[in-house]
Each structure stands twice: as C-alpha cells, then as structure tokens.
A and B are shown apart, each in its own frame.
Chain A
Amino acid sequence: MKSRRAGPPVFEGKTDVAEASGGLVIRPMDQFEVRPLFGGDTVGIFTITNVTLWMALTIAAVTLLMVVGSRGRALVPTRSQSVAELAYSFVYKMIEDVTGRDAVRFFPYIMTLFMFVFFANILGLVPFAFTTTSHIAVTAVLALAVFISVTVLGFVINGASFLRLFWVDSAPLALRPVLALIEVISYCVRPVSHSIRLAGAMMAGHAVAKVFAGFAAALGAAFFVPVLAVAALYALELLVAVIQAYVFTILTCVYLKDALHPHH
C-alpha cells in the first residue's frame, strides 16, 4: 500500500473519472481536517486550530445556557432557565436512576461530560462547522478518562473485591473462569466501543451529508432531490447528536455503577 500513499488520494483518483463527465468532486473527509486558524502549516500542541475555536464555542454555548440562562434565579423560571433546569434534572435523574443515590457526588463530572458532548455534537451540525467529537482523539480521551477513573474508583472503594465483578457467582463453577476471561475482555473493550461509537456516529452522519450535498452540486436541475435528502438527514443527525450524547452519558453512569456496586 506504500505505493498508494505516494500517489494521489483515493477520491482524487475517483474524481479523475467523474470530472470528465460532470465535474463531481466530493471530499467528504475534508471537513474533519485540523487546520491552524492563523496561518502556518504545522499543528503543534499549543497551535490555535479550528479544534480550539469549536471547543471554545462549546464552552460559550454551555455558559450561555447554564450560567447566563439561569442568572435570574427566578422562582418561576424563564424559558432559558427552564431549559437549563431541564438539563440539570435530566442528568441528575439519570445518575440517580442508573447508578444510584450515592453516585450523586459525581454529578458535576458527569454533567461536564454530558454538556460537552451534547453541545459539541449540536454545534457540529452548523454548516461549515468542525465537529470536535468526530475525532477519535477527542472521544478516546473522554472514554479513557471515564474508563481509568471508574477502574481506579472501583479499586479504591471496593479494594480487591472489585475483581468479583468478573466472577459470575450465578454461573456453574466450571464455566466461571471462562466467563471471567470474557468479562475481563469485555470490560477492557469498553473504552474502545465507548469512544468509537460517538466518533463513528458523528463522522458517519457528516460524511454522508457531505456526499449528498456534493450530489446536489453535480445534478444540476434535479438538485432539489439531494437537498431534500440532506434536509431529512439533518433531522436524523440532530436526533443522533442528542442520542449519542445521552448514550455516552448513560454508559458512563453504567460503568460508574459497576465501580460503586460491583456485586450486582
């Protein structure tokens, strides 16, 4: 495959054919590129890039909703305040229901995760936006943070008996070592699926939207067909963005429950 790398990229090769027939150039992965904002080509660790911009916008959106929206502290809430309260009690109730009452002390951490993923997903749907959560680097850090902190927490709270999480008491004795192995593997795969699910879902939707939008440019008079398709896709993407944020948070709660109550 080294020869391919040296040559033009995949879609370049494909568009060579397409350009001859109608100038179809679709580059669905361009939108995920990390670019320096203020010139330059190299992306160092402290370079201000579009990642920085959209993460800052995420912070701004969260602040706008949760801090500015609730500044009135009204007993009868305004519209923005009631949305902020809705988000608050939504996550609070999720932790209470899934993890248990004693997990409420982790509420700020889980709320941070939820608000970040939610607004990064939603802001990624703005046209020409950069979706930070579509990058495996970002979601892997989020998932690994959850994984490591949950595992450490499990050992700190339960000591060595945390390992009983992998020892299925209800299974026949002969099967237990096999099951324990499977449980350990599935436990260790958690951060992988946790991070790839979010990044993959975001990436897939945006890439498909881009491909459809490219069709609209190529189809000429029949442009409205892919435009309608993109509109429908955007509605689906909005749903996916919300559900993925919800799923990411609720899985965090489920993992946290394993750390707090490994015997159930």
Chain B
Amino acid sequence: MEGELADMGRYIGVGLTAIGMGGAAIGVGNIAGNFLSGALRNPAAAAGQTAMLFIGIAFAEALGIFSFLVALLLMFAV
C-alpha cells in the first residue's frame, strides 16, 4: 500500500514536469517569433543573427530538457 502511494505520487510528479516542457515551448516560440518579426523588418540584418537565434533557442530548450530529465529521474532513478 505504501509503495503504491509512492508510485502514485511519482507519476503525478512526472506529469507535472510536463508543464515545464510547455514553458520551454513558449520560450522557444517566443524567440523564433520575435526573430521572424525582426527579420521581416530588416531582412538584411537577419542572416548575421541566425547564430544568436540558435543560441537563444538552445538556452530556452535546455530548461525544457531539464524538466524532461527530472521526469526521467522520477520514473527510473528515484
């Protein structure tokens, strides 16, 4: 019984980490959207900034991956 309760709590926790992925999705979308609107305003400057775009996406995405990692740790390691 105690083990089942712990399992339940773990699964709830894993589900909650999915919210973190949503946050990362918002962040990545925000970066890409802002890049696109900036690039449409000044297409000449866009080509030089794609590296910055990917760096920003990488940072935002990393946090989503951290939440995924927390989920994995809850599922398999704890």
Please report A residues at the B interface, Cβ cutoff 8 Å. Answer: 1, 3-4, 7, 9-10, 13, 29, 94, 97-98, 193, 196-197, 200-201, 203-204, 207, 243, 246-247, 250-251, 254
Contacts and interface: CB of A to CB of B under 8 A. Distances in A.
B44 interface: no
Contact of B61 (A9, A10, A197, A246): A197
Contact of A247 (B6, B54, B66): B54
Interface in B30-64: 48, 51, 54-55, 57-59, 61-62
B3 A4 contact: yes
A187 to B, nearest CB: 14
Which of A9, A98, A203, A204 has the most chain B CB atoms closer than 10 A to its own CB? A204
10 contacts: A4-B3, A9-B76, A193-B66, A196-B66, A197-B65, A200-B62, A200-B66, A200-B69, A207-B72, A247-B57
B16 interface: no
Nearest to A254: B55
Contacts of A7: 3
B69 A196 contact: yes
B58 A251 contact: yes
B49 to A, nearest CB: 10
Contact of B65 (A1, A94, A97, A204): A204
Interface in B15-31: none
A201 B65 contact: yes
A10 B66 contact: no
Instruction: Name the prevailing secondary structure of the B interface residues.
Output: helix
B53 to A, nearest CB: 10
A97 B51 CA distance: 9
Contacts of A3: 3
B68 A197 contact: no
Contact of A251 (B6, B55, B69): B55
A13 B48 CA distance: 52
B51 A94 contact: yes
A108 to B, nearest CB: 21
B54 A196 contact: no
B78 interface: yes
A10 B74 CA distance: 10
A91 B22 CA distance: 32
Chain A to chain B: the 5 pairs with minimum beta-carbon distance, closest first: A200-B65, A247-B58, A197-B62, A193-B62, A204-B68
A204 B59 CA distance: 17
A264 to B, nearest CB: 14
B65 A29 contact: no
Contact of B62 (A4, A196, A203): A196
Given A197-B65, A200-B68, A13 B51 contact: no
A117 B22 CA distance: 27
Contacts of A94: 51
B54 A250 contact: yes
Contact of A201 (B61, B72, B76): B61
